[in-house]
Structure 1
Amino acid sequence: MNIRTITIGVLAVLILAGLAVSVQAAKPGTNFNGPHDTLNIIGKDVDWKGNGEGYDNGNTMFVPDNTSEFNITVWDEGVETVIPGIQIDITQGDEFTVIDGNAFDDGTCAFQLAPGKYNVYIAAKAKPNAYTNIVGWVKANDTYYFDIGDVQVSKSKKAQWTDATDLFYVSAKEEPDAIGMLSPGDDVWVFDYLNNLNTFDSALYPDPSYFWQYDNHGSKLVQIRFYEA
Structure 2
Amino acid sequence: MKKKSSTNGSIGLVTMILALIGAITAGVIYGVGYEQRRSVTSSAAGHGAPNGAHYNLNIIGVPKGKTADMTSGHRIFVPLVGKCSVALSQGEFSVLDGNCTDGKGSFQLPNPDPDNDGVTTYSVWARALGKPGGKSETTTCATDATGVEYCSVNTMIQIRNKGKTSFSDVSRQLLYVYVDLNGDGVLERIPLFDERLKDYYWSYDNNGLKIVQFRFYEIPTNVN
Alignment TM class, shorter chain as reference? 0.5 to 0.7
In structure 2, distance between residues paired with 1:178 and 1:225 = 35
Q: Which secondary structure does the structure 1 equivalent of 2:124 belong to?
A: strand
Tell me: higher relative CO, structure 1 or 2? Use CA pairs within 8 A at least 6 residues apart: 1
Identical-residue share of aligned pairs (%): 30
* Alpha carbons of structure 1 residues 162 and 178: separation in structure 2 relative to 1, 3 Å: farther
Structure 2 match to 1:158: 164
Deviation at 1:209, TM superposition (A): 1.6
Q: Structure 2 residue aligned with 1:221, among 184, 198, 211?
A: 211
Q: Structure 1 residue aligned with 2:109, among 96, 113, 118?
A: 113
1:69-104 Cα deviation digits (max 9, x unpaired): xxxxxxxxxxxxxxxx111111111x2110011123
Letter in 1 for 2:208: G
* Alpha carbons of structure 1 residues 128 and 92: separation in structure 2 relative to 1, 3 Å: same
Q: Is the 8 A contact 1:127 1:218 kept in 2?
A: no
Q: Which secondary structure does the structure 1 equivalent of 2:81 belong to?
A: coil
How do residues 49-198 of structure 1 correspond to structure 2 at under 5 angstroms? 49=66, 51=68, 53=70, 58-67=73-82, 85-93=83-91, 95-105=92-102, 107-114=103-110, 116=112, 117-141=121-145, 143-148=147-152, 149-156=154-161, 157-167=163-173, 168-171=175-178, 174-177=179-182, 187-191=189-193, 193=194, 195=195, 197=196
1:35-69 Cα deviation digits (max 9, x unpaired): 211111111113x44535265xx2111111111xx
Q: Is the 8 A contact 1:54 1:61 kept in 2?
A: no
Structure 2 residue ranges without an equivalent (≥5) = 1-41, 113-120
Deviation at 1:215, TM superposition (A): 0.5
Structure 2 match to 1:33: 51
* Structure number having the greater strand percentage: 1
* Alpha carbons of structure 1 residues 187 and 60: separation in structure 2 relative to 1, 3 Å: same
* Alpha carbons of structure 1 residues 115 and 186: separation in structure 2 relative to 1, 3 Å: closer
Q: Is the 8 A contact 2:66 2:99 kept in 1?
A: no
TM-score by length of 2: 0.63
Letter in 1 for 2:90: Q
Structure 1 residue ranges without an equivalent (≥5) = 1-27, 68-84, 198-204
Deviation at 1:125, TM superposition (A): 1.0
* Structure number having the greater helix percentage: 2
Deviation at 1:131, TM superposition (A): 0.5
Letter in 2 for 1:140: D
Q: Number of aligned pairs? A: 162
Q: Which secondary structure does the structure 2 equivalent of 1:166 belong to?
A: helix
